[in-house]
Amino acid sequence: AVLLDLHSMPTIRPRGAALPPEFVVGDRFGAACHGSLSAAVFSFLHRHDRVVAHNRPYSGGYVLERHADPKAGIHGLQLEIDRAIYLDRDGANLGPGMGKLVNLLVDLVRAMAAQATILGDMSSGQGWSEAAK
């Protein structure tokens, strides 16, 4: 099973970074999911020319700590999304980027599901019954 915990974030201007991240992928420093799932998400976002950070400043909070359990086949990721991608300049209303973001997220979930299927095959089905509970 895959758990995707979506959050919004303000634009972050990290020191030394050329561009602020549009997305922050949090996996609790590898404790919330198999590394190949994080890698698949990074690869997907990079292929779509997105600026991505990993675990900094958001590594994943309560939802991942409570519900993610890779050993039981429950792989969790937190995805922080810069509000500037989908809100207007005032941050009060949906902006022109919302439609593109929705399409990107739909395709991302499909990519994550494909990777989860591979993970399930790798474990010979172990953990899937527990994940279904």
pTM of the model: 0.87
Residue 23's region, left for phi above 0, alpha for psi from -120 to 50, else beta, is beta
pLDDT, averaged across the chain = 90
Provide the residue ranges of all domains of the chain, joining segments of one domain with +: 2-13+20-123
Per-residue pLDDT of the chain (133 residues; tens, 9 = 90+): 899 999 999 999 877 768 999 999 999 999 999 999 999 999 999 999 999 999 999 999 999 999 999 999 899 999 999 999 999 999 999 999 999 999 999 999 999 999 988 887 665 554 444 455 5
The fourth-level CATH superfamily of domain 2-13+20-123 is Zn-dependent exopeptidases (3.40.630.40)
CB 21 within 8 A of CB 53: yes
The residue with tokens 């941050």 is: 91
CB 113 within 8 A of CB 2: yes
